[in-house]
Structure 1
Amino acid sequence: MNPLLPRYGESTLADLLPSLGAHLGLPGAEDVLDLPDAERYLLVLIDGLGRDLVDDYARHAPFLAGLDGRTITSGVPSTTATSITSLGTGLAPGAHGIAGYSFWYPAAGQVLQTLRWPADIDGLDVQPQLTCLERLERAGVRTSTIAPAHFSGSGLTVAALRGPAFLPVTDEADGDRRVDLAVQAATAGERTLGYFYERQLDHAGHVRGVGSKLWLQELERADALVARVRDAVPPDVRLVITGDHGMVNVPRSQRIVAEDEPGLLADVTALAGEGRLRQLMTGRPGAVAGRWRDRLGDRAWVRTRDEAVEEGWFGAVSPRLAGRFGDVLVAMADDGAVMSRALAREFQLVGMHGSLTQAELEVPLLFA
């Protein structure tokens, strides 16, 4: 089995905002996704909503399952930090450099954990290129972000989504307030783009697993919330709904603990990424990759950085950013994961993502 490779420039999350921008007067933008025309859009991103999950659990998401749309993919790794940055910048991971949930950041000589961003590292330094949202603002489009209040000014928000007015959500259970904010964002001007972020489905999948009672409840809640938003915003506002990655359940019997495997961590100086796509830093990538291939066989796609770049995992990789990606990458092909005792919190996860399987990479692109 071969990895599913994103078609950057044709059908990935990085292509979504430029394609919307083509309808909103963004200079140089082209719609490669054949999106419905409008002058006011509300982009809804449901964290953890894979394409397969909409199909497999359609009776729990009747509104979403009934919409027209198509399938696109995230980039690699198929994880929130990388996907959100591709979405916000319109760039493939190799061009924006947010190389995973955690990644080696050479400028600081450390692994940067994106969801617990260090206070002494500026998101603008990590990702200095203009976001697509900034470019839309300069083109006269009113842009807004609707997200949890504590995301405002965070390192990841600055790196990935800077530019829009930030409309804070202080209580994510307050659906009425979130619908009101969606209407505010959608009607802020004659040309608008609102970004509406919903994260509870992903959390439920991580802690209880895809298909669990909690996960199904969150899918039903997200489906109902999007339907309410559609009813509340004016008819000329076009809703575009997508996800940032899918998810797979990882049985405990399928977890490989790196420290318990003789020789696997030899010559490895740092671990980054996540269980489904572990990134290894080493001065001997050929030898390390060989040992991991011998141990995992066809359970994983093991590549050196050069091999992954040549295959197109990250899109064109800037030489300035190449060192952020693992010297060796271990992407799981089955339902396993590579764990580390140094990352004890990850042992609590049931659902995971990050690799290049269809279940993790493919996300819906729906229109309402």
Structure 2
Amino acid sequence: MLPNDCVVPNDSVVPNDCVLPDYNGAALCNLLPSAVAALGLGDSSAALQLPSSRQICVLLIDGLGCAALHEHRADAPVLSSLLAGKHPRAVTTYRDITAGFPSTTGASLASIGTGLPPSQHGLVGYRVLIPERGRLMSLLQWDDSVDPSDWQPHPTIFEQLHAAGVVSAHVASPDFAASGLTRSSFRGANYIGAATPGELIAALAAVFGQDGPRLIFGYYPDLDKTGHGQGVNSPAWRHQLAVTDRMVERLVTELPPDVTLVITGDHGMVDVEPSGKLDLDLAANLLDGVALLGGEARARHVYTAPGAAGDVLAAWRESLSGMAWVVSKAQAIEEQWFGPDMTDVVARRLGDVIAAALPGSALVATVKEERQSALRGMHGSLTTAEQLIPLLTVRV
């Protein structure tokens, strides 16, 4: 049976177990501006107020959400001791922050790299419309016809640091070095390829062992990969969390006294059972008037045929009551789902109808998105399990 314990309003009431991102405060887009301020190089009133430091190393663990981390804290004793402020060698601070909407890797990494919300950097979904071409683009695979610096024209935090003569580095898989996402959101950083956890630790330690102020960003993808395939409540995910915890322990041991380590995630994750998945490819009433189906199973951009937006909105609201929070593009912009001050360029990339899945639900498309539809662990929506991510600072 599909979940039906949450009534979805037609107005601006936030459904139970959902939260709108705090873009002006505790949000991921404020992380690197706050890190720059902590280096003594930016606005001292930065939203997240990180401790002053000579160097800052940010480790982003893809898929690390607060809910799953706390539920399985026994599998992560090092992270748990850091969160509780009880690590024998480290002084820590901890708070929850919101990922942003959609709570998906492409949008979140762009928010980190630019210091801007999706409403301004323009990476607004897993698969979004290229308005000039009338087709969809995946932010993770990109489209060769789209110049990343045109799609996201704002200076990144790393470009700003480079202009100020400050060293920055981006440590991640060699596979991502020339990706559209990297070129749109992390240009300006010295890219260092690291294919394994050991290479990641060694590369991060080598950079923050050098002199002078610097900002280092490291990206670890394996927890997210395991969660997608097996689910966040699976033995495999718990084992992967334990592996991640061991990596964090090794990194803490490499930390010099004048370097702050910041650990965070890009989104949380929820498990969706087959009974909670609605197959849009088999729901003719929901595809009537739909030109393109974008986004992903838990955060849909619905692009409608001319003149059909009102009817599609009504049909999706009626049919998906209890499964999704469905709003118009205008409502999403007004309520700042994607952030404040949305530009017209970015607004054209949004769906005419936007659907954020509620707990236990997913709007899959088994024909057009066969692989993604089969995933056990999913993210993208506004539930607290997907939105709330840890912000942990560590000093030794």
TM, length-normalised to structure 1: 0.96
Matched, 1:315 2:339: yes
**Which residue of structure 2 lines up, in the alignment, with residue 235 of structure 1?**
257
After TM superposition, give the deviation of residue 29 of structure 1 in Å: 6.1
**Which residue of structure 2 lines up, in the alignment, with residue 338 of structure 1?**
363
**Which residue of structure 1 lines up, in the alignment, with residue 382 of structure 2?**
356
Question: Please, which of 286, 290, 314 is the counterpart of residue 310 of structure 2?
Answer: 286
**Deviation per residue, 1:244-288 (Å, 9 max, x gap):** 000000100111011222311011000111100111001322210
After TM superposition, give the deviation of residue 27 of structure 1 in Å: 4.2
**Deviation per residue, 1:333-359 (Å, 9 max, x gap):** 121101112111112200000000000
Question: Please, which of 172, 175, 194 is the counterpart of residue 147 of structure 1?
Answer: 172
**Please, which runs of 5 or more residues in structure 2 have no aligned partner?**
1-14, 83-92
Instruction: Indicate conservation of the 8 Å contact 2:172/2:200, yes or no.
Output: no
TM, length-normalised to structure 2: 0.89
After TM superposition, give the deviation of residue 122 of structure 1 in Å: 1.8
Where 2:327 maps in the other structure, the secondary structure is strand
After TM superposition, give the deviation of residue 142 of structure 1 in Å: 1.1
Q: Which amino acid aligns with 1:305?
A: K
Aligned residues: 365
**1:18-29 correspondence runs (5 A):** 18-28=33-43
Where 1:270 maps in the other structure, the secondary structure is strand
Change (3 A) 1:139 1:25: farther
Inter-partner Cα distance in structure 2 for 1:285 and 1:272: 15
Matched, 1:38 2:60: no
Q: Which amino acid aligns with 2:336?
A: G
Q: Which amino acid aligns with 1:358?
A: T
Q: Which amino acid aligns with 2:374?
A: Q
**Deviation per residue, 1:175-216 (Å, 9 max, x gap):** 1x3222011221343101110100000000000110212211
Question: Please, which of 78, 91, 94 is the counterpart of residue 103 of structure 2?
Answer: 78
**1:244-255 correspondence runs (5 A):** 244-255=266-277
**Which residue of structure 2 lines up, in the alignment, with residue 206 of structure 1?**
228
**Which residue of structure 2 lines up, in the alignment, with residue 265 of structure 1?**
287
After TM superposition, give the deviation of residue 53 of structure 1 in Å: 1.6
**Which residue of structure 2 lines up, in the alignment, with residue 125 of structure 1?**
150
Instruction: Indicate conservation of the 8 Å contact 1:42/1:237, yes or no.
Output: yes
**Please, which runs of 5 or more residues in structure 1 have no aligned partner?**
none
Inter-partner Cα distance in structure 1 for 2:284 and 2:233: 35
Matched, 1:300 2:324: yes
Inter-partner Cα distance in structure 2 for 1:120 and 1:163: 22
Inter-partner Cα distance in structure 1 for 2:208 and 2:68: 28
**Which residue of structure 2 lines up, in the alignment, with residue 55 of structure 1?**
70
Matched, 1:194 2:213: no
Inter-partner Cα distance in structure 1 for 2:291 and 2:230: 32
Task: Report which stretch shifted further, 181-190 or 202-211.
Answer: 181-190
In terms of fraction of residues, the more helix-rich structure is: 1
Inter-partner Cα distance in structure 2 for 1:266 and 1:172: 46
**Which residue of structure 2 lines up, in the alignment, with residue 217 of structure 1?**
239
Q: Which amino acid aligns with 2:245?
A: D
Inter-partner Cα distance in structure 2 for 1:33 and 1:299: 34
Matched, 1:178 2:214: no
After TM superposition, give the deviation of residue 119 of structure 1 in Å: 2.5
Inter-partner Cα distance in structure 2 for 1:63 and 1:315: 34
Q: Which amino acid aligns with 2:385?
A: A
